[in-house]
Amino acid sequence: MENMANKVARIPNLVDWSTGEVRLMGAKCNSCGTYFFPKEHYQHRPDCSREGVEDVLFPKKGKLASYTIQYYPCPAPFKTENKITPYGIGLVEFENEKIQITGIITETDLKTLKIGMEMETTILEMFTNEEKQQVVTWAFKAVK
């Protein structure tokens, strides 16, 4: 995997690389079986007892359920040092968890994007902060 030393997520508790793999952080309700991302945004099944909600890491890989190509820069507070437009952005489906999660696609040849293709979780370097750390967000890339 990428060298993750000196990297920091712009907002904590969303993306993890402590296991050696980049994985998204979410939660699962053991009562109603629903997975949440982000983990603090609960979306229980009606009348769920909401017991046993626990943190989970989503699998590294999923498949592309939809995508778009954004031609204009995302306004602030979004921030990147390099021009990234046009950028791909996709919904990646994690099959067993029955959830689709959005993410920027770090693909330069956007013409190759296709619904159903296999994707893996990665990070996108956004900018360098005052502590000289690379501030990152989660992203997806095609499995080659």
- Interaction of residue 48 with Zn ion, rule CB under 5 A: yes
Residues touching Zn ion: how many (CB under 5 A)? 5
Does 57 help bind another protein (rule: CB under 8 A)?
A: no
Half-sphere exposure of residue 108, counting CA atoms within 13 Å on the CB side? 1
Non-local CB neighbours of 62 within 8 Å, separated by 6+ positions: 92, 93, 94, 95, 101, 118, 119, 120, 121
Instruction: Count CB-CB contacts under 10 A for residue 92.
Output: 26
Shortest distance (Å) from residue 65 CB to another protein? 7
- Partner touching 29 among Zn ion, another protein, none, CB below 5 to 8 Å by kind: Zn ion
Nearest to 61 by CA among 31, 97, 112: 97
Answer yes or no whether residue 17 interacts with another protein by CB under 8 A. no
The residue ranges that bind Zn ion (CB under 5 A) are: 29, 31-32, 44, 48
The residue ranges that bind another protein (CB under 8 A) are: 9-11, 13-14, 26, 36-38, 40-48, 50, 65-72, 74-79, 87, 89-91, 93-95, 97-104, 115, 137-138
